[in-house]
Amino acid sequence: MDRAISVFIGGSSEGIKFADKVKESLDAGGKIQCTIWNKETFEYNETFLNSLTKASLVHDFGIFIASGDDLALIRDKIEDIPRDNVLFEYGLFLGAMGNNRTFLVQEEGCKLPTDLGGYTTPRFKRNFINDDWNTLGKDILADIKIQF
């Protein structure tokens, strides 16, 4: 591999700490250049959608952090769910990059839409320590290198 692999990391404002941990764990693997959505993504005089569409075309991979930031009443049960924009952006990148280059990293206990029930997602817990994040990063990195 001659150049660094470019990875876009998306998520919610509430989940920025998890995006930072994923970035740190991937950076430790070498030859990965991660961009978190809130840095260098949104340009003046551009809509968020245009900026995200451009990002989906210039990065090699997309990783989206589905943290349980919102509550929803689903069939008489209160569930932790990810922000709707995270799922939208995941779908945008999924359509642009395909299933093998787009990851949804799911917080344990965070309910995803039923259409995503058949996916195996990398998982994390709020109380992960650095070793746990590094293990998760190594697992994702292994999949990335297979695809690249």
Residue 43 annotated to the active site: no
46, 89, 107, 108: the active-site residue:
89
Mean pLDDT over 18-42 rounds to: 88
Average pLDDT of the residues in 24-35: 84
pLDDT single digits (tens) 73-86: 999 999 999 999 99
* CA angle at 13 for the pair 9 and 18, rounded to the nearest 5°: 55
Neighbouring C-beta atoms of residue 55, cutoff 10 Å: 22
CATH class of the region 5-147:
alpha beta
Mean pLDDT of the chain: 91
**What residue ranges do the domains of the chain occupy?**
5-147
